[in-house]
Amino acid sequence: MNAIVFFCFRPLKRIFDFAKLLKNSDYDIFVSINDNSYILPDYDNSAITVIKLDDNQVGNAGYFNSNNNMRYKVCSRDKAFYYFNRISNTNYKHIWFIEEDVFIPTTKTISDIDSKYPEGDFMSNSYFIVDNDINNLNNFANINKQAPFIQYDKTNKFYQSWAFEDLHFKDFLQFPWLKGMTCAIRVSMNFLKMIDIFASKYKILLMDEVLYPTLSLHNNLSIVNPVELSSIVFTRDFNKDDIIRNNFYWNYDDIRPDYLFHPIKDLDLQVFLRKTYNFT
Q: Which residues pair with 261 in a beta bridge?
A: 103
End-to-end alpha-carbon separation of the chain, Å? 22
Task: Give alpha helix (H) positions in the chain.
Answer: 13-22, 55-60, 76-82, 109-116, 189-202, 208-218, 267-276
Q: What averages of pLDDT result for each successive group of 10 residues across the chain (280 residues)?
A: 97 96 98 96 96 98 89 94 98 98 95 98 94 91 91 61 63 92 97 98 95 97 97 64 51 86 88 79
Q: What pLDDT does 95 receive?
A: 99
Helix (H, G, I), strand (E, B) or coil at 59: helix
**Integer Cα distance of 157 and 88 in angstroms:** 41
Q: What pLDDT does 147 receive?
A: 93
With beta carbons less than 8 A apart as the criterion, state whether 247 and 269 touch: yes
Domains of the chain (ranges, CATH numbers): 2-124+180-276 (3.90.550), 128-177 (no CATH)
DSSP string across 239-279: PTTS-STT---S-GGG--TTS-BB----HHHHHHHHHHTT-
Q: What pLDDT does 276 receive?
A: 81
In eight-state DSSP terms, residue 51 is E
Q: Which residues pair with 2 in a beta bridge?
A: 27
Sheet of 122-123, strands arranged across = 48-51, 27-33, 2-8, 95-99, 184-187, 122-123, 223-224
Candidates 159, 180, 280, 273; CA nearest to 226 is 180
**Integer Cα distance of 93 and 256 in angstroms:** 26
Residue 117 CA neighbour count, 13 Å, CB half: 22
Q: What pLDDT does 248 receive?
A: 55
pTM over 0.95: no
**Integer Cα distance of 173 and 171 in angstroms:** 6
Q: What pLDDT does 279 receive?
A: 66
With beta carbons less than 8 A apart as the criterion, state whether 80 and 32 touch: yes
